[in-house]
């Protein structure tokens, strides 16, 4: 089976500054060659996970870290529109993690695929002790 390598240069303006990271997301090529792009729009923290201080979150796409770790508190919104779109042949699993000194907490996990193409801006909710929303668009 032929494997396509998508190289995406991600540049994010986060609360803590600017990050530029190169990420590679392999995916299986579709026979019809169709694909789509995922644009992450933003993260809303409704209630944070940590009891003290701020949450420190970062985002994975198929296990690849695509953002810096940034601080966020209850009520904050983090803009992700400066993140480069992720090309997908089929879909990608997005995870939002919260960094801790022992093991990190998974705040949100969502498989997003090309069936959302053209559906406009959408959001999904995290399932954890905290409450987070991820806004995104597939085109
Ligand atoms: Ca935590
Ligand atoms: Ca923490």
Report the separation in Å between the CA atom of 104 and the middle of ligand 2, taken as the mean of its atom positions: 7
CA 46 to chain centre: 17
Task: Say which CATH superfamily domain 3-138 falls into.
Answer: C2 domain (2.60.40.150)
Which region holds residue 120: left if phi is over 0, alpha if psi is between -120 and 50, else beta? left
Residues 6+ apart with CB under 8 A from 109: 93, 94, 95, 96, 126, 127
Ligand 2 centre from 107 Cα, in Å? 11
pTM exceeding the 0.95 threshold for the entire prediction: no
- Please, are residues 28 and 89 in contact by the beta-carbon 8 Å criterion? yes
Residue 98 Cα to ligand 1 middle (Å): 6
Q: How far is CA 72 from CA 7, 43, 46, 103, in A?
A: 28, 10, 10, 18
pLDDT band at 25; cut points 50, 70, 90: low
pLDDT digits (tens, 9 = 90+) for 30-79: 445 578 999 999 999 999 999 999 999 999 999 999 999 999 999 999 99
Structural domain boundaries of the chain?
Answer: 3-138
């Amino acid at each position: 089976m032929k494997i396509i390598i998508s190289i995406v240069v991600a540049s994010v303006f986060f609360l803590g500054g600017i990050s530029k990271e190169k990420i590679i997301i392999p995916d299986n090529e579709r026979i019809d060659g169709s694909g789509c792009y995922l644009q992450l729009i933003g993260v809303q923290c409704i209630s944070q996970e940590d009891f003290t201080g701020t949450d420190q979150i970062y985002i994975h796409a198929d296990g690849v870290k695509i953002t810096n770790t940034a601080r966020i508190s209850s009520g904050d919104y983090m803009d992700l529109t400066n993140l480069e779109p992720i090309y997908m042949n089929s879909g990608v699993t997005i995870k939002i993690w919260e960094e801790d000194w022992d093991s990190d907490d998974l705040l949100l996990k969502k498989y997003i695929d090309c069936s959302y193409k053209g559906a406009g801006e959408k959001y999904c909710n995290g399932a954890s002790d905290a409450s987070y929303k991820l806004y995104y668009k597939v085109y």
